[in-house]
Amino acid sequence: MSRPRLAVLISGRGRNLQALIEAQRDGRIPAEFAGVLSNRADAEGLLRARAAGIPAVSVPHRDYPTRAAFDTALAQSLRALHPDIVALAGFMRILGDAFVQEFEGRMLNIHPSLLPKYPGLDTHRRALEAGDAEHGATVHFVTPALDGGPAVIQGRFRVQPDDDAERLAQRVLEEVELKIYPQAVAWMARGELMLRDGAALLCGHRLQQPVTLQDLEEAFR
């Protein structure tokens, strides 16, 4: 039985990609990397992929006259990898409905906020301006609604008085994202997580709320 094929889409530094590479390498994610795609040729994450022996190519969105033309080219490259799982990891493009529908149910995204709070950009500044006591990140299935698909797992922490947007971004990445994404992708690789009728099912149970890092820590205690 061949292992599921994992494709990762990036735009930048690839720290989430690196966490997935390390989790796959140590056996926590039972999948094979099919490839890494980036919409930017200068994405540092491409170097991380190649250093790990993963095929990595860029499909620069600037090379295409329209968003639809870019989506078509990206879908073609992604389809050619025959992915069973697609992880958007720091991927900064909004994908059109046709692209999303082709990969819906296989595609996850990580978003640096406690969704449904703060879909879109600039999440850390918005959380600070709102005076939120807590902040964090969410992994969700990708559906046509921007950052709106069913949430799978979420991690949160208390905002400290000296946290500014930059410090929050670093805390969200290090204390939450790098932990929750490997867990979500591992569930997908083991066939325990799926999207059905617009809801996330984990081990057959419909998730009314995302799983939290605390749930996991208690479970493992």
Q: Hey, what are 21's tokens?
A: 């590479």
Distance in Å, CB of 205 to ligand GRF, minimum? 26
Cα 34 to Cα 167: distance, rounded to the nearest angstrom: 33
Q: Hey, what are 184's tokens?
A: 């979500």
Give yes or no: 61 in active site: no
Burial of 78 (0-12, 13-18, 19+ CB in 10 A): buried
In the β-sheet with 211-212, what is the strand arrangement from edge to edge? 56-58, 32-38, 5-10, 85-88, 107-111, 134-141, 151-158, 211-212
Cβ nearer to ligand GRF, comparing 16 with 143:
16
Distance in Å, CB of 164 to ligand GRF, minimum? 15
Cβ nearer to ligand GRF, comparing 90 with 182:
90
The alpha carbon of residue 13 and the mean position of all alpha carbons in its chain are separated, in whole angstroms, by 14
40 to 99, contacts with ligand GRF by CB under 6 A?
45, 89-90
Cβ nearer to ligand GRF, comparing 179 with 194:
179
Q: Please name the residues in contact with 17: beta carbons below 8 A apart, sequence gap of 6 or more.
A: 8, 10, 36, 45, 48, 49, 89, 90
Cβ nearer to ligand GRF, comparing 157 with 194:
157
Stretch that binds ligand GRF, among 76-84, 95-103, 154-162, 165-173 (CB under 6 A): 165-173
Distance in Å, CB of 8 to ligand GRF, minimum? 9
Contact call for residue 15 and ligand GRF (CB under 6 A): yes
**Pair 124, 135: CB distance under 8 Å:** yes
Concatenated DSSP letters of 86-122: EEESS---PPPHHHHHHHTTTEEEEESS-TTSS-SS-
174 to 203, contacts with ligand GRF by CB under 6 A?
177
Stretch that binds ligand GRF, among 10-18, 67-75, 151-159, 184-192 (CB under 6 A): 10-18
Query: Shortest CA distance to 6 belongs to which of 182, 210, 212, 205?
Result: 182
Contact call for residue 110 and ligand GRF (CB under 6 A): yes
Contact call for residue 173 and ligand GRF (CB under 6 A): yes
Cβ nearer to ligand GRF, comparing 78 with 172:
172
List residues with catalytic annotation. Answer: 111
Q: Which residues bind ligand GRF (CB under 6 A)?
A: 10, 12-17, 45, 89-90, 110, 112, 169, 172-173, 177
